[in-house]
Amino acid sequence: MTANLNSTFVVVKPDLTADALPVTDTIWLDLDAHYNNFVGHTLVAAFQFSEDWPSWEIHPHGDEIVTLISGDIDMILRTDKRDQSFRLSEPGEFVIVPKGTWHTGRVHYETQMIFVTPGQDTENAESPR
């Protein structure tokens, strides 16, 4: 099977088999409904950003791997109420966002990235606690 991460997500299940799912308007609801609220699952997805991320997010059940495909972005990680900035500007550069770390992105110019995300209980907020 071949597919494109720009239009297809990959769900890695707890038994380490994978499903490819077309991205639809209801993808987030479908993932929760069909994959037990994402307990023990990992999402592999590509996203493009032309503006700063509108919110922060946190993944309480595992580290997230964020890899730059093209563009230029600062990944901001907040630990102990302190921000650390990691600039990704060369294709292939990545950051590992530690489990339980709030993070967001500040885009310098249009950016495409691949995410490997432990999605269970992911939270989003305008500003982290």
> Where do the structural domains in the chain lie, given as residue ranges?
8-125
Contacts of 72 (CB under 8 A, 6+ apart): 87, 88, 89, 107, 108, 109, 111
What pTM did the predictor assign? 0.92
Q: What is the mean pLDDT of residues 71-83?
A: 92
Binned at pLDDT 50, 70 and 90, residue 129 comes out as low
CATH architecture of the domain with range 8-125? Sandwich (2.60)
Query: Which residue in 59, 64, 66, 69 sits closest to 105, CA to CA?
Result: 66
Q: What percent of the chain has pLDDT over 70?
A: 99
Task: Show the tokens assigned to 106.
Answer: 């500040």
Tell me: pLDDT of 3 over 70: yes
